[in-house]
Copies of this chain bind each other. A is one copy, B any other.
């Protein structure tokens, strides 16, 4: 593709092109970090102003009923369910992804009382690993977390495996697991599976029902565009609802929270996964982002994501050859999520130089450049321009400048 005009032609033919204007993207920026923090939907400021001014300011305490605040965890959960192939009454929005991993792992271990092992991928996102290791320690009953390479996962499952805990799309490389196949392998070993959909929900096709997934968590502030620190979601398959016990039992998971009964009696099903009072501002913002994601047909999203990735990789291979960028993302479309990653020893300063030029991706330790591809907002011409800037940064060697060497607190 020698000319930018070809990328522009792809944009003209893009059925999702109209969605970009539904987001408030700043001028002069090519945003390749929607996999870390999704951009702001244009509808969000007005909705939040309404929640704050009218519902909180005027409605006050009455809004828990009148504005439906108390139903938000279930109501937004029902909408997310549509994105991930989950049936009614199986998804809830609450707390953070990390906390939901804790809650689901605890619930899963309780359903496999004779088994002591949580199996995960060694390269899983650290918080999942930390939470699982911490829970195993806490229980003090000989539970342990076993971390194995991705290719060794099926062979690691056995009669001691209580839970297989995996992140569907790898946060560093963008590699995507075969959810159905790994779930089958876990079930064959008698284990349950907890899927982390942080980099999947809203980005790639997910069908928890078809995959027979047992439990899942996911993030509200990445491809769901719910805003910084948006609440997360959790899913439990309906056939596990009977006898479900979460390791944290808070008042809003009670069958009758406002009876203020002395003893805990869990709500039926997924509803017992609520703990404390719902974060209304975060839920309201997330709702806007989820509704936007639902407007885009997932097959179309997926196809554009694949094309964006192919274009990015093709252009980098041609324009940036000889600069030592090593592609980490699998080339087969079925094996990758909606990001593209490269290893480079100068990942940190290169990214800082890119950001200074308005091309915003991020880095992950130790040496990985991540470029998120969000089909709802990204244009093919943006990819063309981003690679042109990357080439300029590499060709000029400007990233060696001292100003790009210091690392910010959050990378």
Contact = CB atoms under 8 A, between A and B. Distances in A.
Q: Among A96, A221, A253, find the residue whose CB has the most chain B CB atoms closer than 10 A.
A: A96
A95 B232 CA distance: 12
Contact of A410 (B64, B138, B362, B411): B64
> Which of A106, A138, A257, A283 gathers the greatest number of chain B CB atoms within 10 Å?
A138
Contact of A228 (B31, B122, B227, B281): B281
Contacts of A251: 98, 125-127, 130
17 contacts: A45-B57, A48-B49, A64-B409, A69-B229, A97-B276, A97-B277, A102-B250, A122-B262, A126-B260, A126-B262, A130-B254, A131-B275, A138-B247, A221-B277, A229-B278, A258-B411, A281-B282
Interface string A68-102: 01100000000000000000000000011111001
A247 B133 CA distance: 11
Interface of A: 24, 26, 29, 31, 33, 36-37, 39-40, 44-45, 48-49, 52-53, 55-58, 60-65, 69-70, 95-99, 102, 106, 122, 125-127, 129-131, 133-135, 138-141, 147, 221, 227-232, 247-254, 257-264, 275-283, 285, 355, 360, 362, 364-365, 408-411
B65 A277 contact: no
A102 B31 CA distance: 39
Count this chain's copies in the assembly. Answer: 2
A227 B26 contact: no
A275 B64 contact: no
Contacts of A227: 52, 56, 280-281
A77 to B, nearest CB: 15
A134 B260 contact: no
A283 B228 CA distance: 11
A56 B232 CA distance: 18
A324 B257 CA distance: 27
A209 to B, nearest CB: 27
B33 A53 contact: no
A99 B95 contact: yes
Contacts of A262: 122, 126, 129, 147
Given A126-B257, A130-B264, A282-B282, 10 more contacts: A26-B58, A48-B52, A48-B281, A64-B409, A98-B276, A133-B249, A140-B141, A230-B279, A260-B365, A279-B279
A259 B98 contact: no
Nearest to A275: B98
Contacts of A96: 95, 250, 275-277, 279
Contacts of A362: 61
Given A48-B48, A133-B264, A231-B279, A360 B60 contact: yes
The list of the 5 closest CB pairs from A to B, nearest first, reads: A96-B276, A127-B251, A98-B250, A134-B249, A228-B280
Nearest to A47: B52
Contacts of A127: 250-252, 276
A130 B264 CA distance: 6
